Amino acid sequence: MTCKNKTSCLFCLFWRPRKAFIGLTAVLTFSLGLLMVYTEKSFTINSFRKVGPENVISFLRNFVHNFRSQQDSLLDYIPASKWTEYRRLNLTGKLNLLVRENASMRDPRLIDLIRKYIQPPSDKPYALKNPDLKDYSCGQSTYVNNLILNSKEKGFFVEAGAWMGEHASTSLFFERSRGWTGLLVEPNPENFEKLKSLNRKAFHINACLSTHQFPALLKLNGASDMSRTIERKEDEQWVIDHKFDQKPYYEVPCFPLYSIMLAINQTSIDYFGLDVEGNELLILQTIPFDDINITGLTAECLEMGQRGSKDAAAVRKFLENKGYTCHGIIAANPGHGCFAEDFIFVKKGLVSEQYNCRLVLDPFIPFIANRTVHNLI
Ligand SMILES: *[C@@H]1O[C@H](CO)[C@@H](O)[C@H](O)[C@H]1NC(C)=O
Ligand SMILES: *[C@@H]1O[C@H](CO)[C@@H](O)[C@H](O)[C@H]1NC(C)=O
Ligand SMILES: *[C@@H]1O[C@H](CO)[C@@H](O)[C@H](O)[C@H]1NC(C)=O
Ligand SMILES: *[C@@H]1O[C@H](CO)[C@@H](O)[C@H](O)[C@H]1NC(C)=O
Ligand SMILES: *[C@@H]1O[C@H](CO)[C@@H](O)[C@H](O)[C@H]1NC(C)=O
């Protein structure tokens, strides 16, 4: 186009690049959005709100890097400060490969990777905040010790999530007072740091238990005592319902329980304390009960209850089909400084008395007899 006079010429020069600039910016923004949605399938509307400049830069840098190295991770937009230790141990490539393949929970490469990652029991003296307590739990330890395990010595426990390892710990009593060792599983890196500093005499791993019979790499919502992995739409909804969506998000590796047990050469569990804010059933479904001998088990049913008693009933039904009996339900008062609502299961035939899943009145804890617990069973 030729210029008719000076003014329109200036106007053209100014106007056309501006139009081009706006157009180009719109196209670029749209493509970036499409790219992020395409490469990041778990990106929900809610997590979009959290994408700050540092995450966009981190995403782009990682996208280019991944494109070149073919080591893509679903979670690369999570900033480096929120990664768990496995990245710094250079296990990323190996883990991504196993995750992409849906590697079997018995895969020797997976067992080997867990052996490199897991931390052994500490040989240093305990550094507990409250060393005079005996039972740190909301009553689960006393209950299991007295009514199920007959004060067994030198057993093996698994506690998931282990939180910070002391307050409300269902396993510390067995470790200190009965000479047991065990496995502590805690996905939240901040909780894990505190847990590590206590020098507990058990294996500990900064990971979550996989809800599949293969490993995963997941986003974790880091609400301290209610950290929860985000895998499905309903998990994100749970986070929003609990108003935890402003808490930090982390990236965590998740391993099947059986793989971790193989990594530490252990095939029996005397007491398994499972409290993972709603994923209890999915985790239990990954366990090969013929290969691993679990005697007593507590499973939190409060969060399951809040999502509808269907889940709690499903856990009970599932474990009853696997040869367990629901011994009781334990419920502790928040006023007691501890909040719990747990099913207590035991392998059928191991205890003579049939409690038949009643709400248990243990003198150790002030129970709230009229809580929603009744609706769960
Ligand atoms: C991980 O790899 C980097 C770069 O190759 C190296 O500097 C670092 O020491 C490695 N870390 C471990 C724990 O092997
Ligand atoms: C891995 O498992 C997921 C979920 O079960 C499935 O959607 C996916 O297709 C599987 N991938 C491979 C490579 O088998
Ligand atoms: C488990 O067994 C393997 C192979 O025998 C051994 O290398 C490893 O040290 C053992 N690990 C533990 C924690 O006992
Ligand atoms: C499982 O453990 C219980 C309790 O320790 C024991 O009585 C039982 O014999 C064990 N079963 C197997 C198959 O090892
Ligand atoms: C709890 O339930 C019992 C029996 O159903 C009833 O008698 C009692 O008043 C209830 N207590 C409270 C605090 O609601």
- Does residue 122 carry a pLDDT above 50? yes
Q: What ligand has the least distance to the C-alpha of 108?
A: 3
Question: What does the pLDDT read at residue 337?
Answer: 60
Per-residue pLDDT, averaged over 123-129, amounts to 95
How far is the C-alpha of 176 from the C-alpha of 41, rounded, in Å? 45
Question: What does the pLDDT read at residue 157?
Answer: 97
Residues near 16 by beta carbon (within 8 Å), at least 6 away in sequence: none
Least confident range from 71-80, 162-171, 223-232: namely: 71-80
CA angle, 155 as apex, 153 and 159 as ends, to 5°? 130
**Under 8 Å between Cβ of 215 and 99:** yes
Three-state DSSP class for 8?
A: helix
- Tell whether ligand 4 has an atom less than 6 A from the beta carbon of residue 269: no
- Tell whether ligand 3 has an atom less than 6 A from the beta carbon of residue 118: no
Q: Which atom of ligand 5 lies at the shortest distance from residue 369's CA?
A: 1
- Tell whether ligand 3 has an atom less than 6 A from the beta carbon of residue 265: yes
Residue type, 17: P
How far is the C-alpha of 163 from the C-alpha of 146, rounded, in Å? 24
User: Alpha carbon of 374 to those of 280, 306, 335, 357: distances in Å?
Assistant: 19, 13, 20, 10
- Any residues with Cβ below 6 Å from ligand 5, and which? 369-370
Minimum CA distance residue for ligand 1 atom 3:
90
Question: What does the pLDDT read at residue 254?
Answer: 95
Residues near 74 by beta carbon (within 8 Å), at least 6 away in sequence: 40, 41, 42, 217
Minimal CA–CA distance to 41: which of 74, 82, 80? 74
What CATH number does domain 100-376 carry, 3.40.50.300, 1.10.10.350, 3.40.50.150, 1.10.490.10?
Answer: 3.40.50.150
Per-residue pLDDT, averaged over 254-268, amounts to 97
Q: How far is the CA of 89 from the centre of ligand 1 (A)?
A: 7
Minimum CA distance residue for ligand 4 atom 3:
295
Per-residue pLDDT, averaged over 120-128, amounts to 96
Q: What ligand has the least distance to the C-alpha of 292?
A: 4
**What does pLDDT average to over the chain?**
79
Q: Per residue in 65-109, pLDDT tens?
A: 555 544 334 455 566 677 778 777 888 889 989 999 999 999 999
- Tell whether ligand 1 has an atom less than 6 A from the beta carbon of residue 116: no
Q: How far is the CA of 235 from the centre of ligand 1 (A)?
A: 34
Question: What does the pLDDT read at residue 14?
Answer: 58
How far is the C-alpha of 166 from the C-alpha of 128, rounded, in Å? 7
- Tell whether ligand 3 has an atom less than 6 A from the beta carbon of residue 5: no
- Tell whether ligand 1 has an atom less than 6 A from the beta carbon of residue 90: yes
Question: What does the pLDDT read at residue 267?
Answer: 95
- Does residue 243 carry a pLDDT above 90? no
- Tell whether ligand 3 has an atom less than 6 A from the beta carbon of residue 264: yes
According to DSSP, residue 216 is labeled: E
The verdict on pTM exceeding 0.85 is no
Minimum CA distance residue for ligand 5 atom 14:
370
Q: Per residue in 37-55, pLDDT tens?
A: 655 544 444 444 455 555 6
